[in-house]
Amino acid sequence: MKKVYGSAAEALEGVVFDGMLIAAGGFGLCGIPELLIDALVESGVKDLTVASNNAGVDGFGLGKLLETRQIRKMMSSYVGENAEFMRQYLSGELELEFNPQGTLAERMRAGGAGIPGFYTKTGVGTQIAEGKEVKQFRGEDYILEEGIFADLSIVKAWKADDTGNLVFRKTARNFNPPAAMCGKVCIVEVEEIVPRGSLDPDHIHLPGIYVHRIIQGEHEKRIEQRTVRKREAAQ
């Protein structure tokens, strides 16, 4: 099965459609599938629902899809750092489904494992619980959360072989593995494709069974908030 494609546009060909649900990896601007996001912008696909920890920043990452008004609904746990996100949400132009961060990750992982739902204490007694089934276990309330079954997963990894075995680099792993697991089709962009058999099996973070298409490319790796120490005055 051929998994390596020449470009992000080529990898998306035949799998995108209006109204689809996309699971996107990344945390802030760390480990985001920026090349695939750019290709989605160029594709013109619209009315998207995107499950992602956040929506990037203005003009970068998922923020680009917000600016082009291609996203109809976000399923997120953090929505700061993006003025256009705030504007669209407050004006009623963008739907938002808030998820506690761990719940969002588990909903993706559950979908990838074929689990339609699970009970959690997180969100009990808050707005998160509104409209959800509540069940008692050992005398305590838990709410039912549904697994996420996405039409497409877009993720970013550090290395891959041609079978799709993935290695992520440090904190860039974040939401990428569970996001990759829950898509009917998973497309991964990587910094390097290495020969088959060169990855230590003990160091593989996600097996290739979850990955359908791979592209290699150059990445900007923008820093979301740069904090530096003030320069000390010369003595």
Looking at residue 234, its pLDDT comes to 60
Looking at residue 233, its pLDDT comes to 65
Q: Look over the chain and give the mean of its residue pLDDT values, rounded to a whole number.
A: 95
Domains of the chain plus CATH, in order, are: 8-116+148-216 (3.40.1080.10)
The amino acid present at 129, given as its one-letter code, is A
Phi, psi of 178 (to 5 degrees): -65, -35
Cβ(143)–Cβ(133) under 8 Å?
yes
- Positive/negative CA dihedral, 70, 74, 76, 78: positive
Per-residue pLDDT in tens (0 to 9) along the chain, 235 residues: 799 999 999 999 999 999 999 999 999 899 999 999 999 999 999 999 999 999 989 999 999 999 999 999 999 998 878 899 999 999 999 999 999 999 999 999 999 999 999 999 999 999 999 999 999 999 999 999 999 999 999 999 999 999 999 999 999 999 999 999 999 999 999 999 999 999 999 999 999 999 999 999 998 877 777 888 887 766 5
Looking at residue 80, its pLDDT comes to 79
12 vs 42: CA distance, rounded Å: 11
pTM of the model as a whole: 0.93
Looking at residue 22, its pLDDT comes to 98
